[in-house]
Amino acid sequence: MMFIDSANLDEIREGFSLGLLKGVTTNPSILLKEGKRRGVIVKEILDNSEGIVFVQATGSSYEEIYADCQEILAYGNKRIALKIPANIPGFQVINRLKNQNNAPIILATAIFSVDQSLLCGLAGCDYIAPYVNRMANNNINPYEVVNKTRKIYDDRGFSTKILAASFKNTNQVVDIFTAGAHTATVSSDVLRSMASKELASASISGFNRDWYELQSRLEFVKE
């Protein structure tokens, strides 16, 4: 199962209607599109989804990121998990949170390299989010990064899961799973592209047309 990367309620409802999703991922850029306070949007997402809802903590210092994590956790819903940047202040926050009782689920975000992934595994992160398309756009092979990361995690028995993010097309999603990602979060557009293929639609339309013709013919056939 996968996640949907969105804060739009219509997109989230449509995605969950497919029965394929295990949660929602968000970030400040996604929230900005909805033009509402973060707490309001998060509550609406919780009311219209199932599973984990990842909310990203912001800030440029340890103190700022930690304080924002506390604000997010104060929303008080056990389905809420944290996205924390994989940089020095982010790792400091992760270390503090993971050493507390009832540590929250943490997704280390903005992953662009294997060494970042290794540190996330050592830090005890529950998930990491390698940015597939952004890596590709910067001449970094995302599939090599994910493949090496998965080998490190498997060889050392890390429980950290690879939750790949940042996709431009469906081929990238398929290729990142082939490379070893445990799961992925995709936009509504990419999810629709995966679930609706022109050739499949044409075949289904043909079957439906023939079915209706058969029913029409049978109206004149006596039992």
pLDDT digits (tens, 9 = 90+) for 68-92: 999 999 999 999 999 999 999 999 9
pLDDT for 122 equals 98
Angstrom distance (rounded) from CA 209 to CA 215: 10
Q: Is the pLDDT of residue 219 over 90?
A: no
Mind listing the pLDDT tens digit for each residue in 82-134?
999 999 999 999 999 999 999 999 999 999 999 999 999 999 999 999 999 99
* 166 φ/ψ sector (left φ>0, alpha ψ -120 to 50, else beta): left
* Alpha-carbon dihedral angle through residues 89, 90, 92, 96, given to the nearest 10 degrees: 140
- Amino acid at the residue 58: T
What was the pLDDT predicted at 222?
Answer: 62
Q: Is the pLDDT of residue 207 over 90?
A: no
Catalytic residues: 83
For the chain, what percent of residues have pLDDT higher than 90? 86
CATH topology of domain 2-196: TIM Barrel (3.20.20)
What per-residue confidence (pLDDT) applies to 213? 72
- pLDDT tens sequence across 153-170: 999 999 999 999 999 999
Give tens-digit pLDDT for 30-45: 999 999 999 999 999 9
C-alpha dihedral, 24 to 27 to 30 to 36, nearest 10°? 100
